[in-house]
């Protein structure tokens, strides 16, 4: 997936698309938009960062799962088998991105699966389909002709915590450095603690 921050308007369509598509309960999120504000008045700027599982090529969570509930599909999507998950939360502890959660009803770990069921049916992930400004693009990187391959070839991109060598599969175009480098989740919108204020 590529998320083009030059197009993102911080509207949270993706946040709600994920809730609806994956029946994500209240209190937890598989996808959300982090908001960061930087700089003094009047040159203050605001930056967004849609967050979701990176479905890493080298997923630490999969390595650390004692029951092989977490595994990587042939196409690279990292999923959790609900029947094998014992909710030991090792994966949550080992994920550098804080994108896994315990489903409060099922008491198993869940996360973003790039909407594997939609991808299998030839559809885009729900967040991608809902995005009003088409900031999110999903596709096959191995297909040189795909839109995502062309975007990756023609734009500089960054990933979260490259130094962890997880090889994330969510690429950001023009992602703000501060938003990408600090560990705050910043889920709620303008609720207390919503913005991470950084007077840089």
Partner 1 sequence: MRSITRRDFLKIGAAGTALLAIESQLHPIAQAMEMMDGGRSVNRVSGLPRSFLPSTCTQCPAGCGIIGYVEESKLVKIGGNPKHLSNQSALCARGQAGINALYDPDRILTPLKRVGGRGENRWAKIKWDQAYEEVAKAMQPLKSQPGRFVYMTEDLGHDTLGKRFAYSFGSGNALGAASIFGGNKQVATQLTWGAAGDMPDVANTKYILVFGANPLESHPQFVGFARRLIEGVQDNQAKMVVFDVRLTNTSTRANEVYYVNPGTYAIVALAMANVIMQEGLHNAAFIDQWANISSGDIAAHLSQFTPEKAAAASGVDAAAIRRVATEFASTSPATTLSDGLVSVHGNGTQNERAVMLLNIITGNIDNRGGLCLPREFNLPDADPAPAVPAPTPLSNPADLPLASQQAIDRSWQLIRDRKHRVGVLMTRSYNPVYSDPDGGGVADLLKDDTMVPIHVAVSPFMTETAALADIVLPETTYLEGWDLEVRPSPELVPFISLRQPVVPPLKDARPFFEIATSLANTIKGGMEQYFGFKSVEDYLKGRIQNVGGLAAAGGLDYLKQHGVWFNPRSKPDYGSFGGGFSTPSGKLEVYSSVLKDKGFSPLPDYEPVPAFSSLSKDELVLTIFDTAIQTDAKTANCMWLDEILHNNPVWINPATAEQLGIKDGDKVRVVRAARTGQGISPVDDSQLNPRARSLETTAFLTEGIHPRVVAMANGVGHTGFGRIAQGEKISKDEESGALKNPNTELVWWREKDGIGTNPKTIVPAMADPVGGGQAWGDVVVTVGKIKE
Q: Which residues bind partner 1 (CB under 8 A)?
A: 6-7, 9-13, 15-17, 19-23, 25-27, 37, 39-42, 44-48, 104-105, 117-118, 120-123, 126, 129-135, 139, 146-147, 188-192, 195, 197, 199
For residue 105, whether the previous peptide bond is cis, meaning omega lies within 30 degrees of 0, is no
Output phi, psi for 89, to 5 deg.
65, 15
- CB nearer to partner 1: give 58 or 188: 188
Smallest distance from partner 1 to CB 98, Å:
18
- CB nearer to partner 1: give 60 or 139: 139
Smallest distance from partner 1 to CB 173, Å:
11
- CB nearer to partner 1: give 83 or 163: 83
* Residue 71: its H or E element: strand 70-72
Nearest Cα residue to 138 out of 125, 126, 150, 153: 125
Output phi, psi for 162, to 5 deg.
-55, -35
- CB nearer to partner 1: give 146 or 157: 146
The residue written with tokens 């088998």 in the block is 81
Smallest distance from partner 1 to CB 64, Å:
26
Please report, for residues 94, 149, 170, 173, the alpha-carbon distance to residue 2 in angstroms, rounded to integers and kept in the order given. Answer: 24, 9, 6, 7
């Amino acid at each position: 997936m590529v998320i083009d921050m030059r197009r993102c308007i911080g509207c949270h369509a993706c946040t709600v698309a994920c809730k609806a598509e994956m029946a994500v309960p209240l209190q937890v999120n598989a996808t959300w938009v982090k908001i960061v504000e930087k700089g003094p008045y009047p040159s203050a700027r605001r930056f967004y960062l849609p967050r979701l599982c990176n479905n890493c090529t080298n997923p630490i969570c999969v390595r650390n799962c004692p029951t092989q509930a977490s595994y990587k599909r042939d196409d690279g999507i990292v999923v959790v088998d609900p029947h094998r998950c014992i909710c030991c939360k090792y994966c949550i502890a080992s994920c550098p991105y804080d994108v896994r959660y315990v489903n409060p009803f099922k008491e198993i770990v869940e996360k973003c699966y790039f909407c594997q069921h939609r991808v299998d049916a030839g559809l885009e992930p729900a967040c991608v389909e809902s995005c009003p400004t088409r900031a999110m693009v999903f596709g096959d990187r191995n297909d040189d002709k795909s839109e995502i391959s062309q975007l990756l070839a023609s734009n500089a991109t960054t990933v979260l915590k490259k130094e962890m060598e997880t090889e994330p599969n969510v690429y950001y175009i023009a992602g703000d450095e501060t938003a990408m480098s600090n560990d705050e989740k910043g889920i709620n919108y303008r609720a207390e603690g919503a913005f991470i204020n950084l007077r840089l």
